[in-house]
Structure 1
């Protein structure tokens, strides 16, 4: 199978590229070529160097080529979808748009999320843009037979440290834990969440390639493991060698007021207990099973960071942000405590 992935070296996509290659697919990556493929253990993929946002340059790079599947991991706005329709209508038998499970209804009306759960997020611009992208995809499918499949990852990790506040692309939260400094946990830490390792996501994603039952459909691909945020932070601490970490529990609404940029990712996503029903992806991809528990997966993530010192970058501004949230909340916490 001839597959074109737009992006391909990201936290989610690199594992999907590796698995597609392992399963014998011919994989071409279209990106700006700024990340060495060897850094992501990608060997055997062809590279087309172009910025997808430059439509003329992309057309020149594509030439007359066609593909069985085109998957875009870096489309975030409806204009991106409209451009891809222009580029790939008639060039592929399947177009996969990577959306987001944060597009699902907030707050949830039912505890368990299925693919039929409504899409509505009044808190996060990112999620609303993904919803608009999905609408553009479905409109093209219905009106012009554009062969779309929509995939909704939830919090998927591999080369990021997936804490809700203070983590992600750098090593700061690990440094903080090892220094025995407190971390901020939203709410009381008891809400349920699902962490999915990128190698598990890849199993579902690759199983959808050229799968005729997937055309016109949407799927989320997540683990079935449920953890509280307290357990998640402690698992990161255990991987860091510190054991359970000192947590300061602060209401999500308070954090959002102190740091407005966190409103979307907290109130529009992580503050809400979310349980995913993965029956649909398992029905269409019968061998799909997430097999990486978070405690093992986060150890692999830390090993990836620590394999190269340049990945272990820390950010003093992140420490200052966490300290500022804690310091802002302390008077309110002290005033609310029984005397």
Structure 2
């Protein structure tokens, strides 16, 4: 099976690349070659998907599957439909679980949960991408599959404030500085290791029955935010100094957190993975967060340059704490 990953070396996609190669898939990567990450066994096509003049090599190929890991806008989708219509048997769009109804009317999410999130441009654009692809499937026979990851991690720290592509919150914990947990920390969430996500995702590659369908792929481990931060702090070997602050208040002081909080992580979410388990029976998430986050921290420790401490995030956290304490006093 000949598969193209547009991207393929990121936090989520690297694990899927490695597993695809392990399973004997003839995997190609289209990227600009800027990543430090090298996937052994993947064939490289050098180019920028946004620049047609760099795609002459790409246009020589036909594919069994094309996966775009870095499409975010309807314009990206229009481009891909033009590029790959008649050139691939399956096109997989990486959407986002943040597209699901916000706020939820029912906390258990299935793939039939409505898509509606007007609080975050990122999610709104992903929904528009899905709408365009569904229309292309219905009206033009474009062979789509949609995948909606939730908070998936490998080389990032999956927390709401001072994490993900930053080491900021971890650094604050290690230095004994206060960190913020949104709300009272009791709302429920799921974090998924990229190696577990890959098991479900790679099973969809070339699966004819998956054409026209959407799937989310997450762990079945449900944790409160208090537990997520405690496990992180325990893995760092130190007790965190936690301040609980309502999400509304955080976003009123720093509106830049609206997307990651009010539009995504402020309320309890439980994912029902029945559909992906039905289509890919071998899928089962086996890496608990307490194990996975240690692997992430070890990877970060291997190269201190990976530990990006964002001064802007530190300023925001301190500003929120100062405002909160002044009002509380």
TM-score range normalised by the length of the shorter chain: over 0.9
Q: Which residue of 2 aligns with 1:31?
A: 31
Deviations 1:43-87 (A, max 9, x none): 0101111111112322x1213211100000000000101100000
TM-superposition CA deviations, 1:294-338 (whole Å, max 9, x none): 01110000011111122123222222221111111112223xxxx
Q: How far off its partner does 1:257 sit?
A: 1.0
* Corresponding position: 1:56 with 2:53: yes
TM-score (norm 1): 0.95
Which SS does the other structure have where 1:201 is aligned? helix
Secondary structure of residue in 1 paired with 2:24: coil
In structure 2, the gaps of 5 or more residues are none
Question: Which residue, 325, 329, 333 being the options, matches 2:324?
Answer: 329
Alignment TM-score, normalising by the size of structure 2:
0.98
2:131 is matched with 135
**SS of the residue aligned with 1:92?**
coil
Compute the RMSD of aligned alpha carbons.
1.0
Counterpart position of 1:17: 17
1:317 aligns with 2:316: no
Aligned to 1:229: 225
Q: Where does 1:140-155 land on structure 2 (aligned, <5 Å)?
A: 140-155=136-151
**Is the CA contact (8 Å cut-off) linking 1:94 and 1:148 kept in structure 2?**
yes
Is residue 2–residue 26 contact of structure 1 (8 Å, CA) maintained in 2?
yes
1:114 matched to 2:110: yes
Alignment of 1:89-100 (within 5 A): 89-100=85-96
Kept in 2: contact 1:55–1:83 (CA 8 A): no
CA distance in 1, matches of 2:18, 2:8: 9
Q: Distance in 2 between matches of 1:27 and 1:61?
A: 15
Report if the CA contact (8 A) 1:258-1:325 is conserved: yes
Q: Could you tell which deviates more after superposition, 124-133 or 324-333?
A: 324-333
C-alpha distance in 1, partners of 2:37/2:64? 23
Residue 74 (structure 2) aligns with: 78
Counterpart among 192, 196, 201 of residue 197 in structure 2: 201
Contact 1:190/1:230, CA 8 A, preserved across alignment:
yes
Q: 2:100 aligns with which of 98, 104, 107?
A: 104
In the alignment, what sits opposite 1:337? none
Corresponding residue number in structure 2 for 1:241? 237
Question: How far does residue 111 in structure 1 lie from its aligned partner after superposition?
Answer: 1.7
Matched pairs, number: 329
Is the partner of 2:98 in helix, strand or coil?
Answer: helix
Q: What is the deviation of 1:273? A: 0.5
Kindly provide the CA deviation profile for residues 184-210 of structure 1, in whole angstroms up to 9, marking residues without a partner as x: 111000000000000011011100000
Q: Matched residue of 2:90: which SS?
A: strand
Unpaired runs of 5+ in structure 1? 335-339
- Choose which of 261, 279, 283 in structure 2 pairs with 1:284: 279
| Worse-matched range after superposition: 143-152 or 29-38 | 29-38
Q: Aligned partners of 2:311 and 2:116: how far apart in 1?
A: 35
Is it true that 1:261 corresponds to 2:256 in the alignment? yes
Whole-angstrom distance in 1 between the partners of 2:118 and 2:37:
38
Question: Contact 1:37 / 1:43 at 8 angstroms: preserved in 2?
Answer: no
Match in the other structure for 2:153: 157
SS of residue in 2 equivalent to 1:90? coil
Tell me if structure 2 keeps the 8 A contact 1:157–1:197. Answer: yes
- Residue 220 of structure 1 corresponds to 216
Q: What SS does structure 1 have at the residue aligned with 2:4?
A: strand
Confirm or deny: 8 A CA contact 1:161 1:167 kept in the other structure: yes
